[in-house]
C-alpha cells in the first residue's frame, strides 16, 4: 500500500471500507505530515485534537455506508464551522467563532468526514495569489517562493502537498480553478445555485460558488456528489435533480462537440500555453470528440465587467463589518469614528481597494455609467455562451494565462494581478460550471491547467470530458517535499 | 475621467474607512489605474441591451413566516466585541 497521505480519496475510502485502514490511522498520518509542513503556512486554525477524537469515535462504530467514511478533510477558512474559528483570512474576523455550520461543510460531516482544520486564503477571497491574507502568504509545494494561486491558495497547496485528501474552496472569479492550475490539482466551480452559499463568508453573492479541489477527476466527482444540494437557507439555491456524479463518471466522450473559442488566444500568451491547448484539443479528438471553432465575442470585456460587479457586491456585503456585533473593534470617541477606525485597521489594502471601487460605482451619479453598464455587458457575455452552447456540448480553454509566479512579483500592480483571471472570470459572470485539470508543465516544470466549461447543471459532462482527457494527459506532479522539517 | 484626491476622501467617508493623506494618494493612483482598465466597457454600445439582474433564471421562493430557531440570543451575542449579556455595546450616540 502506498503512503497514506499520497492516496486519493477513492483509495482512502476503499481502504476504510475494506478495513485495511482505520480513520484514526489516516487522520494521524495527515496530522503528522502537517506538523512537518508548517513552512507552507496552509493552516490558519487546526482542529487536530478534536479530529483524532472524532476518528476514534468513528472507528468504534464505523458506518461504511457513508460517502466519506471517517475521512479527515481540511476546508478553506471561508466556510463557517460551528465552534471553530473562521477568519476569511482577515484581521477583522480574527476572533470570530461561528455558532452555526455552513451547509456545504455540514454535507461533508453528514457523510462521515472529519474536520482537520481551516485553510489559509486571500482576505475575503479577494486575490489571486494568497498574498492578501492577514495570516501571511502560502508557499506553493511545486517550488519554493512560488504563489499557490488564490484565493483558495491554502486549499490548493494542501491538496498538492498531501496535507488533506481533498478540500473545498470557493470561486468568485477563478479562486478554485486558478490555484488548482498553479498546483497541478483538479478544481471545479459548479453551476451557480448548485452548492449552497449558506454559511460561506460572502464576497460577491451573484458570483460566489463553493466547489471541490482534489488530486484527480474521480475524487472531484465523489466530493461534488456530497456537497451539491438544494438548500432552503440559500435563496438562490436551485432545486433540481443532481446526478450521482461518481457513479455516472465515464471516459466515453465519443461524439461530444467541444468548442474552441478563438478569443481566448490572448496577446502575449506564452507559446507553452498555446501548445498545451493544442495538445488538449488533439487528445479530445483522439477520444472521439468533435472539435468546433466558436466565438465568444465579448471575452475581452469580462474582466472590466467583473471589476465593477464583484467590488460593488463586495462593498455591500462587507458593510456588515462595523465592529458592533462580532469581529475586531477599534474603539472610537463616537459611533462613526469607531466604524471608520475598525474598518480602516481591520481590512487589508486589497479589500479596502475593492470596497472603494464598489462604493464609487454604486455612488450617486455613477451608478448608470458603471454598475448598470456592467450588468448590460454581463448580459452580452452570458448571451455569447448561450449562443455557443447551441452548437457545442462543452468548451475547452487554458485555465490561466501563465504558470505560478513568484511571491511578491505582482503585489504592486493590482491590474496585472487581475489579468490572471482572464480565462476564469467569464464563467462566473455567466453562472456556468467550469473545471481545471492539470494538463502539462512549462519550461520551469511548473504545472499548467486546461479548463472545461459546461452548460448550466451539466457538471457530469465536464467531469466526463476531464476524466477522458486526464487519462490521455497522464500528468504527474513531481513534488520534492522540499519544505518538510523534522 | 480621473479620480482626484477629494473624490477619494469622499468615497472613503461613504465606505466608513478612514484614510490618511498618504494612503489616499496611493489609493488615488490605484483607483485611476483600475478605472482606466474598466473604461474599456465604453467601447460597447449597450443602448438596447437589458441589464442582467439574476444569473439563475428562477424566481425567489416564498416560505411560511415561521420562527424556526429558539433561544438563540446567547449565540447571537457570543461574538460581541464588548461583553454584556443582554445587548451589543457601542459608544454613546445620544446626549
- Domain membership flag for residue A3: no
Position A268 scores a pLDDT of: 80
Residue A248: inside a domain, yes or no? yes
CA distances from A245 to A216, A248, A257, A298, B12 (A): 14, 5, 20, 32, 47
In a domain, B32, yes or no: yes
Cell numbers that stand for A269 in this block: 500568451
Let me know if residue B89 belongs to a domain. Answer: no
* Beta-carbon separation of B53 and A315 below 8 A: no
| Residue ranges in chain A modelled with pLDDT below 50 | none
pLDDT of amino acid B38: 93
The grid cell for A359 is: 462604493
Residues from chain B contacting residue A352 (CB–CB below 8 Å): 17, 27
The strand pairing partners of A168, in sequence order, are A212
Exposed / middle / buried, residue A91 (Cβ in 10 Å: 0-12, 13-18, 19+) = middle
Is any Cβ of chain B less than 8 angstroms from the Cβ of A230? no
Residue, of B58 and B44, whose pLDDT is higher: B44
Residue B84 neighbours by CB distance under 10 Å: 9
Q: Is the pLDDT of residue B84 over 80?
A: no
Confidence category of residue B1, pLDDT binned at 50, 70, 90: low
Range of the domain at B30: 5-42
Q: Tell if the CB–CB gap between A332 and B46 is shorter than 8 Å.
A: no
Q: Which CATH number goes with the domain that contains B19? A: 1.10.20
Asked if residue B30 is part of any domain, the answer here is yes
User: Which is more confident, B61 or A50?
Assistant: A50
Asked whether residue B56 is assigned to any structural domain, the reply reads no
Q: Which of A67, A76, A189, A455 is catalytic?
A: A76
CB-count burial class (<10 Å; 0-12, 13-18, 19+) for B83: exposed
pLDDT band, residue B31 (cuts 50/70/90)? very high
CB of A173 within 8 Å of any CB in chain B?
no
A282 noted as active-site residue:
no
Domains identified in chain A, total number = 1
- Residue A381 within a domain: yes
What is the C-alpha to C-alpha distance for residues A408 and A406, in angstroms, rounded to an integer?
A: 6
The set of cell numbers assigned to A79 is 466556510
**Does a structural domain hold residue A321?**
yes
Pick B91's closest partner by Cβ from A100, A335, A413: A335
Helices (H), chain B: 5-14, 21-38, 73-77
CB contact under 8 A, A343 and B58: no
Domain contains B20:
yes
Count CB neighbours of A294 within 10 A.
19
Residue A353 and residue B88: Cβ atoms within 8 Å? no
Residue B67 inside a domain? The answer is: no
A175 is catalytic: yes
A346 touches chain B (CB under 8 A): no
- Which of B16, B40, B81 lies at the smallest CB-CB distance from A301? B40
Structural domain that includes position A117: 11-486
Provide the domain count of chain B: 1
B91 within a domain of the structure (yes/no): no
Helical residues (DSSP H) of A253-301, grouped into ranges:
271-286
C-alpha B34: how far from chain center: 18
A366 found inside a domain? yes
pLDDT at B54: 85
Chain A, residues 376-395, CB within 8 A of chain B, namely 376-380, 382
Distance, in Å, from the CA atom of A157 to the CA atom of A150, rounded to the nearest integer, reads 10
Give the C-alpha separation, A450 to A260, whole Å. 12
Kindly state whether residue A5 falls inside one of the protein's structural domains.
no
Q: Which residues of A touch B93 (CB under 8 A)?
A: 334-335
B37:A304 CB<8 A: yes
What pLDDT does residue A1 have? Answer: 59
Closest to B41 (Cβ–Cβ): which among A100, A357, A373?
A: A373
For an interface test with A, which of B1, B5, B14, B15 has the most A Cβ atoms less than 10 Å from its Cβ?
B15
Which residue among A37, A128, A129, A151 is the active-site one? A151
A190 assigned to some structural domain: yes
Among chain B residues, CA nearest to A330? B81
Q: Answer yes or no: A221 catalytic.
A: no
Complex ipTM > 0.90: yes
pLDDT of B85: 73
Q: What is the pLDDT of residue A306?
A: 97
CB atoms within 10 A of CB A300: 15
Q: Is residue A86 part of a domain?
A: yes
B58: chain A residues, CB-CB within 8 Å: 193, 236, 238
CATH code, domain with A230: 3.90.1300.10
Helices A23-35, A9-17: inter-axial angle, 10-degree rounding: 140
Amino acid at each position: 500500500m502506498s503512503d497514506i497521505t499520497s492516496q486519493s480519496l477513492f483509495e482512502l475510502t476503499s481502504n476504510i471500507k475494506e478495513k485495511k485502514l482505520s480513520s484514526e490511522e489516516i487522520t494521524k498520518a495527515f496530522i503528522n505530515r502537517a506538523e512537518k509542513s508548517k513552512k507552507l503556512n496552509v493552516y490558519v486554525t487546526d482542529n487536530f485534537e478534536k479530529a483524532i477524537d472524532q476518528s476514534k469515535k468513528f472507528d468504534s462504530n464505523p458506518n461504511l455506508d457513508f460517502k466519506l467514511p471517517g475521512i479527515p478533510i481540511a476546508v478553506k477558512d471561508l466556510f463557517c464551522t460551528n465552534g471553530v474559528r473562521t477568519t476569511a483570512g482577515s484581521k477583522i474576523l480574527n476572533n470570530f467563532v461561528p455558532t452555526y455550520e455552513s451547509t456545504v461543510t455540514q454535507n461533508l460531516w453528514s457523510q462521515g468526514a472529519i474536520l482537520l482544520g481551516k485553510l489559509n486564503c486571500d482576505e475575503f477571497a479577494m486575490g489571486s495569489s494568497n498574498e492578501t491574507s492577514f495570516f501571511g502568504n502560502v508557499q506553493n509545494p511545486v517550488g519554493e517562493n512560488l504563489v499557490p494561486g488564490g484565493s483558495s491558495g491554502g486549499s490548493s497547496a494542501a491538496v498538492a502537498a498531501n496535507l488533506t485528501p481533498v478540500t473545498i474552496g470557493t470561486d468568485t472569479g477563478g479562486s478554485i480553478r486558478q490555484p488548482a492550475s498553479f498546483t497541478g490539482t483538479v478544481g471545479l466551480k459548479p453551476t451557480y445555485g448548485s452548492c449552497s452559499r449558506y454559511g460561506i463568508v460572502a464576497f460577491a453573492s451573484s458570483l460566489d460558488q463553493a466547489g471541490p479541489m482534489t488530486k484527480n477527476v474521480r475524487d472531484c466527482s465523489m466530493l461534488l456528489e456530497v456537497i451539491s444540494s438544494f438548500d432552503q437557507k440559500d435563496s438562490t439555491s436551485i432545486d433540481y435533480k443532481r446526478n450521482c456524479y461518481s457513479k455516472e463518471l465515464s471516459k466515453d466522450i465519443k461524439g461530444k462537440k467541444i468548442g474552441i473559442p478563438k478569443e481566448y488566444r490572448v496577446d502575449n500568451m506564452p507559446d507553452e500555453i498555446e501548445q498545451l491547448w493544442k495538445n488538449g484539443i488533439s487528445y479530445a479528438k483522439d477520444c472521439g470528440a468533435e472539435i468546433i471553432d466558436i466565438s465568444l465575442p465579448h471575452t475581452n470585456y469580462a474582466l472590466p465587467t467583473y471589476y465593477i460587479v464583484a467590488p460593488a457586491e463586495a462593498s455591500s456585503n462587507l458593510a456588515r463589518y462595523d465592529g458592533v456585533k462580532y469581529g475586531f473593534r477599534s474603539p472610537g470617541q463616537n459611533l462613526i469614528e469607531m466604524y471608520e477606525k475598525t474598518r480602516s485597521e481591520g481590512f487589508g489594502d486589497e479589500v479596502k481597494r475593492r470596497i472603494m471601487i464598489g462604493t464609487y460605482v454604486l455612488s450617486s451619479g455613477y451608478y448608470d455609467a458603471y454598475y448598470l453598464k456592467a450588468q448590460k455587458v454581463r448580459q452580452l457575455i452570458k448571451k455569447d455562451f448561450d449562443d455557443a452552447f447551441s452548437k457545442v456540448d462543452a468548451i475547452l480553454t487554458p485555465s490561466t494565462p501563465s504558470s505560478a509566479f513568484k511571491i511578491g512579483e505582482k503585489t504592486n500592480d493590482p491590474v496585472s494581478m487581475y489579468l490572471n483571471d482572464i480565462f476564469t472570470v467569464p464563467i462566473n459572470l455567466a453562472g456556468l460550471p467550469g473545471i481545471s485539470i492539470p494538463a502539462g508543465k512549462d519550461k520551469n516544470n511548473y504545472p499548467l491547467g486546461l479548463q472545461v466549461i459546461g452548460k448550466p447543471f451539466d457538471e457530469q459532462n465536464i467531469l466526463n470530458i476531464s476524466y477522458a482527457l486526464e487519462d490521455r494527459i497522464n500528468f504527474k506532479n513531481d513534488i520534492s517535499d522540499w519544505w518538510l522539517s523534522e | 475621467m480621473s479620480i482626484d484626491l477629494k473624490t477619494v476622501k469622499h468615497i472613503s467617508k461613504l465606505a466608513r474607512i478612514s484614510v490618511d493623506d498618504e494612503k489616499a494618494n496611493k489609493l488615488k493612483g490605484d483607483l485611476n489605474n483600475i478605472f482606466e482598465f474598466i473604461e474599456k466597457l465604453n467601447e460597447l454600445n449597450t443602448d438596447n441591451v437589458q441589464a442582467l439582474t439574476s444569473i439563475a433564471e428562477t424566481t425567489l421562493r416564498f416560505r411560511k413566516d415561521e420562527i424556526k430557531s429558539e433561544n438563540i440570543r446567547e449565540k447571537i451575542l457570543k461574538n460581541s466585541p464588548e461583553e454584556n449579556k443582554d445587548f451589543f455595546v457601542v459608544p454613546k450616540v445620544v446626549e
